[in-house]
Structure 1
Amino acid sequence: MRILLLGATGRVGKQILNLLLEENYEVTVLVRDQQKLTIQHPLLKIFQGDVLQSEDIRKSIEGIDGVISALNTNENETLSKSMQILVPLLEEFHIQRIVTIGTAGILQSRVEPNTLRYISSESKRKSKTAASDHEKVFHLLNGSRLNWTIVCPTYLPDGPITKNYRVSENFLPADGKSISTGDTANFAVKEFFEEKFIQYRVGICY
């Protein structure tokens, strides 16, 4: 199986890449700057390009079986704009499986269940820009024909894999405060193959 990994140079993406290669999966990555990717591996295929360029994404998805995206967002809405390009191409190439790293802000609020956390009284966020971009990705995937899962970590410090965490469909587990980058990567890779949460947002925390 060959997997396209987006965001491979980020905090979670690096750990996802290591996990996939440790399990001897073929991995294709699309990165803007190859110098930021220090790892070398015979099963790793690197494309240099831009996720906002349709031809670069088209080139990178040829021959793949699924996608894991750990892309970060920014004020330019790179995350949702890249997904607007990616989703139709995956449908065109009949590639069904995609797991993305989102944010707990796009889960349902426990105090206002009909409202997303980041726009509810449950949220302590000062800026809603990143969560808004993640919400757009959620709607894009939810309107697609893909077998998608959005992994939604809460406060995300760098940390190791413990495999000792809680997950919940569409809500953050009660009293969840944080989750490490390592455990977020571990769950994302596990869920990619197990497909237990197809077309769900999944809250993850300790």
Structure 2
Amino acid sequence: MDIAILGATGRVGSAVANALAKEHNVTALVRNMDKAHQMLDSDISLIEGDVLDEQSLTQALVNKDVVFSGLSTDKTTTLSESIPEVIRIMKENGVPRIITIGTAGILNSRTEEGKLRYETNESKRRLTFAAEEHEKVFRTLAEEDREWIILCPTYLPDEQTQGPLREEIDYLPEEGKKAPVQDVADIAIREILSPSYKNVRVGLAL
């Protein structure tokens, strides 16, 4: 399988990229080549560039079977600005699917119908910028004709795997407190290779 990865030097992104590179053709678009060489397997094809740069983004996505995005908000609007371009290039090159990592804040609220978790007291975060960015990604994907999955873990600690995680469409599993990075990466890898969901958000938590 030919797989494009965005956000490959992030915690989830690097775990996904390195695991997939053992048996698949993985291409990663990275901003910092030195960091990428330190974190990523030598079998991964690296393209230096930015997701907002059309040329490098196209180079990363062309002739791919699936796109995985582990991009974070990084206190900028890069995430919401890039997703329309990602989808456009996917369409132009016949790339059918994208799997992204979101946040539990964009899942449906259990306590207030019609609202997302970050809009209610279910979310413990006071700052909503990241959730707002991820919501824009969700709304964009929901209006497009590509297949998509947004994996929405709650708190992501760097702990040893403790899976399996509980999974629930559109909601965070009840009493979910954390979702270790490797456990989230394992689900992402599963959905990249053999998807069990289509066009939904999936809440993840222990």
Offset of residue 88 of structure 1? 0.9
Segment of structure 1 superposing worse, 52-61 or 178-187: 52-61
Secondary structure in structure 2 of the residue aligned to 1:175: coil
Offset of residue 121 of structure 1? 2.3
**Cα shift readout 1:11-52 (whole Å, capped 9, x = no counterpart):** 111111122123x1110000011101123433x111000111
How many residues were matched structurally?
204
In the alignment, structure 1 residue 137 sits paired with structure 2 residue 144: no
1:35 aligns to what?
A: 34
Please give the alpha-carbon distance, in whole angstroms, between the structure 2 residues aligned to 1:172 and 1:88.
30
Structure 1 segments unaligned to the other structure (5+ residues): none
2:80 aligns to what?
A: 80
- The alignment-based identity, stated in percent, is 40
Offset of residue 191 of structure 1? 1.3
Give the counterpart letter for 2:109 in structure 1.
S
Segment of structure 1 superposing worse, 101-110 or 151-160: 151-160
Describe how 1:151-166 pairs up with structure 2 within 5 A: 151-166=151-166
Offset of residue 120 of structure 1? 1.3
RMSD, matched Cα? 1.1
Structure 2 segments unaligned to the other structure (5+ residues): none
TM-score (ref. length: structure 1): 0.95
Segment of structure 1 superposing worse, 144-153 or 90-99: 90-99
Contact 2:71–2:101 (8 Å) recurs in 1: yes
Please give the alpha-carbon distance, in whole angstroms, between the structure 1 residues aligned to 2:62 and 2:85.
15
Offset of residue 186 of structure 1? 0.6
Distance of aligned partners of 1:199 and 1:129 in 2 relative to their CA distance in 1, 3 Å threshold = same
TM-score (ref. length: structure 2): 0.95
Distance of aligned partners of 1:162 and 1:121 in 2 relative to their CA distance in 1, 3 Å threshold = closer
Offset of residue 66 of structure 1? 0.8
Distance of aligned partners of 1:165 and 1:40 in 2 relative to their CA distance in 1, 3 Å threshold = closer
Offset of residue 202 of structure 1? 0.2
1:26 aligns to what?
A: 25
Give the counterpart letter for 1:125 in structure 2.
R
1:109 aligns to what?
A: 109
Give the counterpart letter for 1:85 in structure 2.
E
2:125 aligns to what?
A: 125
Please give the alpha-carbon distance, in whole angstroms, between the structure 2 residues aligned to 1:74 and 1:164.
28
Give structure 1 regions of 4+ aligned residues with deviation exceeding 4 angstroms.
Answer: none
Contact 1:161–1:186 (8 Å) recurs in 2: no
Please give the alpha-carbon distance, in whole angstroms, between the structure 2 residues aligned to 1:164 and 1:59.
35
Offset of residue 113 of structure 1? 3.1
Please give the alpha-carbon distance, in whole angstroms, between the structure 1 residues aligned to 2:204 and 2:12.
14
Give the counterpart letter for 2:175 in structure 1.
D
Please give the alpha-carbon distance, in whole angstroms, between the structure 1 residues aligned to 2:159 and 2:94.
36
